[in-house]
Amino acid sequence: MAYSEFEADLLPEELKKAKLNLIGVFVFMLIFFAFIKFFFWDNLFSDMEDIIPIIIFGVFILLFLALLFYIMRGFVLDFIKKKKFILTGTITDKQIDITTSSSSSGGGRSGTGGSGTTTKRSYYLYFDDKKKLSVDFGIYNKMSVGSEVEIHYSKYSQSIFQNRVITEAKFSEDKIKAIVPELDRDNNFVPKQRELQMTREDFDLIKKKRNTEVRSRLIVALILGWVVIGPMFSGLWLLPILLFPFAIWWFIVIRKMVKYILDYRKEVNSGIKIVYSELVIDKFRQTGNTSGFLIQTNSQMLNVHQESYDKVNIGDLIMVYQGKSSGWIFGFMTSNNKLYEVRGGVKPKKK
C-alpha cells in the first residue's frame, strides 16, 4: 500500500480528547506558576537585594514560557480548527532513539549532593521514506515493518487519536510452526538445529567477533591496570587497597578478554557450527547513545550491519549460524546464499 495522507474533520470523540489535552496543558501551567510564586518568589526573591540574579532567572522563565506556549499552541489550534490527518500506508522502517544523560546537584552548605541518570526514548515509524511519524511505545510495539496501517493524528499537536493495522506483515504463526514446530516448557518455539562443518568464511567471522570483543575491552583494561598496578611500582601499596572496586572491575575485564580468546580456540579446535532456521518478523534501527540495526526473528533479536539490514525483509526465512563450543551467534544466511555478519545477539523481546 502506497503512502497517502489527507486532511479531515475531528470526530466528536476525538474533539473530546483534544479538549482533555488542552485542559491538561492549562493545569500544568497553573501548577508551574504556583511553584514559581510560592517557592521562588516568596522564599527566595523576597530576601534578595541584588537585581542581577532576578533578571537572569526571569530570562530563563521567559524562555521556558515561550517553549510552553509553543507546545500549547498546537493543542489550542486542535480544539479551535478541529482538523486531523488520516495516514495510510505500509511501514517501511522503525526507529527508536535512546538518549541517556547524567545530572548532578550540590547540597549547598551541608556539602551533600546527588547525581542521577535520565533516559529518554522516542519512537518513530517510517512510510516509504517520505513520512516520519512520532508515536508512543504501545503503537510502536504493536506495528511491524511491512504492515499496512491507518493512523489518525491531529494536524497541529500531532496527537494520535486512532490507529489500526489493516494488513499484518507477511508472516504467520503457521509459517513459524512450519520451521520451528516444537515448544519448550514456557511455550516458546524451539528451532530445528543441525550441525555442520565450519567453512573458512565462518572462521573469519568468528575471528572478527573475537577481535572486536577483545579490542573493546583492551583500552579499559589498560587504564584500569595502570590505576591498580601502577601504584605498586611506585611503592604506594595502600592505594590499590583503597581503589579495591577498580581492582575488581579490572579483573572482570581481564577475565572476559581471556574467555573470548579461549572460546575462539575452542571453536577452531571443534570446527562445528549449529545451523537453524528463523523467520524475520520485524526490524528497526536504534539511534542515540547506542546505535545499531536490529532484526527481530521469531525467537531472538540480532544486531547486524546496515548492508544486511537493508537486504532482509519481513517474512524472510534466514539460516542462523552459531558456534557449537562458545554459543556465539556470528552470522546468518539469506535466500541468496550470502553469509552476513551478526555484530551481537540481544535477548528476545516478546510482543
Residue 142 amino acid letter: K
Question: Please, what's the b/e burial string for 303-328 (b: 16 or more CB within 10 A of its CB; e: otherwise)?
Answer: bbeeebbeebebebebbbbbbbbbeb
**pLDDT for 139:** 93
Distance CA(305)–CA(69), nearest Å, equals 42
Residue count (the chain): 351
**pLDDT for 97:** 92
Does residue 88 register a pLDDT over 90?
A: yes
36 neighbors 174 (Cβ within 8 angstroms): no
Distance CA(249)–CA(252), nearest Å, equals 5
Distance CA(334)–CA(127), nearest Å, equals 25
- Say what the pTM is: 0.72
**pLDDT for 66:** 80
pLDDT band at 288 (very low <50, low <70, confident <90, very high): confident
Q: What is the pLDDT of residues 30-44, one digit of tens each?
A: 777 777 666 666 555
**pLDDT for 119:** 83
Residue 59 or residue 139, greater confidence:
139
Helix, strand or coil, per DSSP, at residue 195? strand
**pLDDT for 148:** 92
163 neighbors 152 (Cβ within 8 angstroms): yes
Q: What is the pLDDT of residues 299-336, one digit of tens each?
A: 889 999 999 999 898 888 899 999 998 888 999 998 88
Q: What is the pLDDT of residues 212-257, one digit of tens each?
A: 888 888 887 777 766 666 665 665 555 555 566 667 777 888 888 8
For residue 153, the tally of other CB atoms under 10 A from its CB is 20
